[in-house]
Amino acid sequence: MDFETVYQLYFRDVYAFIRSLSAREDVAEEITQETFFKALKNIDRFDGTKDIRAWLFTIARNTFYSWHRRLKFQADGGMDENQAAKEQGLAQRMADRESAMRIHHFLHKMKEPYKEVFSLRVFGELSFEQIGQIFGKSAGWARVVYYRAKGQIIDYMEVNKNE
């Protein structure tokens, strides 16, 4: 099936999906277009073993959430104080050299696949889809492993925050 056929068959489905997430038509249209652009750019990574519609929905959802995070951050010159404090969490600790060293030390001792998935996501800046492909698993699997690894690091830092 060529990409133009995929576009014609699934454009309305992807648009309706994004429209259910966004109240604005122009945003849904823009994100749908960006979704198909990303899909075209990465079509060689789609192996055909899964439903292409689900693959497109995953790209659309991730694109929408990325757009939403950017918008949220840019509004009013950044985030409000409470939101900023919540969002910084682990990222702020990574900026602090001592905390970063403790995190790297813990990360070195962390079991696989948590260590590698976390490193690929944070340091390699790979998407969950790409990480899943590396391990031969789904993007959902990569997401779960990443958040469990992140939870382990946060728990470790909480226990050792006064060191």
pLDDT in tens, 42-62: 888 887 777 888 888 888 888
> Quick check: is 161 in a domain?
yes
Q: What is the DSSP string of 61-117?
A: HHHHHHHHHHHHHHGGGS--HHHHHHHHHHHHHHHSHHHHHHHHHHHHHSPTTHHHH
Both 71 and 98 in a single domain?
no
CA neighbours closer than 13 Å in the CB half-sphere of residue 112: 2
Q: What does the DSSP 8-state code read for residue 1?
A: -
* Residue 81 CA, distance from chain mean position: 24
Full residue range of the structural domain in which residue 116 is found? 89-163
Domain final residue pick, 54, 78, 102? 78
Domain final residue pick, 78, 110, 144? 78
pLDDT digits (tens, 9 = 90+) for 114-147: 888 888 887 777 788 888 888 898 888 988 888 8
The reported pTM is: 0.46
What is the tally of structural domains in the chain?
Answer: 2
> Quick check: is 83 in a domain?
no
96 confidence band (pLDDT: 50, 70, 90): low
CATH number at residue 12: 1.10.1740.10
- List the one residue out of 55, 49, 62, 45 whose CA is nearest residue 6: 55
Q: Report how far residue 27's alpha carbon sits from residue 7's, in angstroms, rounded to the nearest whole number.
A: 18
